[in-house]
Structures are given as C-alpha cells and as structure tokens.
C-alpha cells in the first residue's frame, strides 16, 4: 500500500522537527527531547515486536499478516527502523532490482546484484543506451533509489565494473568415466 500525501507530509515534518531539535542551543532541552524521542521509539519498537510475535503464533494466517506488514509502505519502514522487518536485506534488494528490470531492459540495460557485504550492495550494470555514460549514471541513480527505499540500512551501493571480455580457445576433452566397482554400473535410459 502506497503512502498517501498526508502520511508523506507527516514523515517530512517529523524529519524537519528532528533537525530543529538537533539545532537547539540549549543542551539540556535538546537532551530531554532526544531522550523523549528515543524512549518513545523504544516503546514503539517493543510494541511492534509483540505484535509480530502474536501474529506469528497463528501459523499461516499470522505469517501472511506479518508479510503484509513488511510490504506496506507505512509499516515496512517502521519495522526496518526497529530491525524487525520480516524479509532479509538480500531478498528485499533482489525484489527491488526485479521491479526495475522491465524499464532497464527497454533501454538495453540490465542490473544484477553481485553481493551484499558489510553494509554495501555491489551491483553490476550491464548494457546501456548505445554505451552512453549518462545512461549508466541514470541507471545507477534508479538502482540507488529503488534499493535504498527497501533497504535503508545499507551504507552504500557500488557498481562493479563489467569484466573485460577476453577470448580463450576452448578445448574439449571428454571426461573419463569413473571407475566402476564390480557388479555395479549405472542404468542407461531404456535399460531395465
């Protein structure tokens, strides 16, 4: 479910207020407000944990509800904030990249997740609009937007360069059949 305009405005206003609190010159007031926010977030995190635990106790129905929570544009980020998202980072990133594939393929591009390591997602961008460097920049921006939306816990997204294609002669040497023990041999299709 997408965030509506009112929910988006609330999220933006919260961010503005957090920035304003951080700029308070009165250290005591800033500390009190920050502690209040941390305590409130901690309590909400505990409540979310309890909700997920209770829902998870109801087998199939509960699992479906927890999955829906993770997919929701309002609830999913809140679960991420508290480290409670039901889907692991790699799966979320793969799903986001899968959603980009049709638009990238329409322009001759393709993206592949290489790995996620120490908070960094490594992606390979293949192809582009006639090799245009600007299109690769646009592809990377689209990839970053999609990935950070579902995995804001990542510290960075790096594009891995395409490997230079080198041709090597290929020699085919038939594989030797393994030694058979006496009385044991594989069944060939059609033999019974």
**Exposed/middle/buried for 144, CB within 10 Å: 0-12, 13-18, 19+?**
middle
Amino acid 36: pLDDT: 93
Q: What is the pLDDT of residues 79-121, one digit of tens each?
A: 988 888 999 999 999 999 999 988 888 878 888 899 999 999 9
Amino acid 136: pLDDT: 65
Q: What is the pLDDT of residues 8-29, one digit of tens each?
A: 888 889 889 989 998 999 999 9
Predicted confidence (pLDDT) at residue 178 exceeds the cutoff of 60: no
Q: What is the pLDDT of residues 126-164, one digit of tens each?
A: 876 545 555 667 778 888 999 998 898 899 998 888 765
**What number is the average pLDDT over the span 50-57?**
87
User: What's this model's pTM, rounded to 2 decimal places?
Assistant: 0.64
Report strand pairing: 156-160 vs 110-117: unpaired
The domains found in the chain, sorted by start residue, are 5-81 (no CATH), 89-160 (3.30.300.130)
18 closest CA partner among 36, 45, 6? 36
Amino acid 129: pLDDT: 53
79 closest CA partner among 151, 156, 155, 157? 151
Helices 27-56 and 59-71, interaxial angle, to 10°? 140
Amino acid 183: pLDDT: 37
Amino acid 116: pLDDT: 94
Amino acid 74: pLDDT: 83
Amino acid 95: pLDDT: 92
**What number is the average pLDDT over the span 73-81?**
86
Predicted confidence (pLDDT) at residue 165 exceeds the cutoff of 70: no
């Amino acid at each position: 479910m997408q965030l509506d305009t009112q929910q988006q405005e609330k999220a933006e206003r919260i961010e503005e207020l957090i920035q304003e609190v951080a700029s308070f010159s009165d250290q005591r007031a800033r500390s009190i407000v920050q502690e209040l926010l941390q305590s409130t977030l901690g309590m909400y995190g505990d409540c979310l944990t309890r909700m997920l635990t209770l829902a998870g106790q109801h087998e199939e129905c509960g699992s479906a509800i927890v999955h829906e929570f993770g997919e929701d544009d309002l609830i999913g980020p809140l679960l991420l904030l508290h480290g409670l998202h039901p889907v692991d980072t790699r799966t979320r990133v793969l799903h986001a990249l899968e959603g980009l594939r049709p638009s990238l393929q329409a322009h001759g591009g393709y993206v592949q997740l290489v790995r996620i390591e120490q908070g960094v997602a490594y992606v390979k961008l293949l192809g582009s609009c006639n090799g245009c460097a600007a299109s690769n920049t646009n592809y990377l921006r689209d990839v970053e937007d999609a990935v950070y939306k579902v995995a804001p816990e990542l510290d960075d997204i790096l594009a891995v360069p395409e490997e230079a294609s080198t041709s090597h002669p290929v020699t085919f040497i038939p594989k030797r059949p393994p030694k058979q023990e006496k009385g044991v041999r594989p069944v060939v299709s059609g033999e019974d």
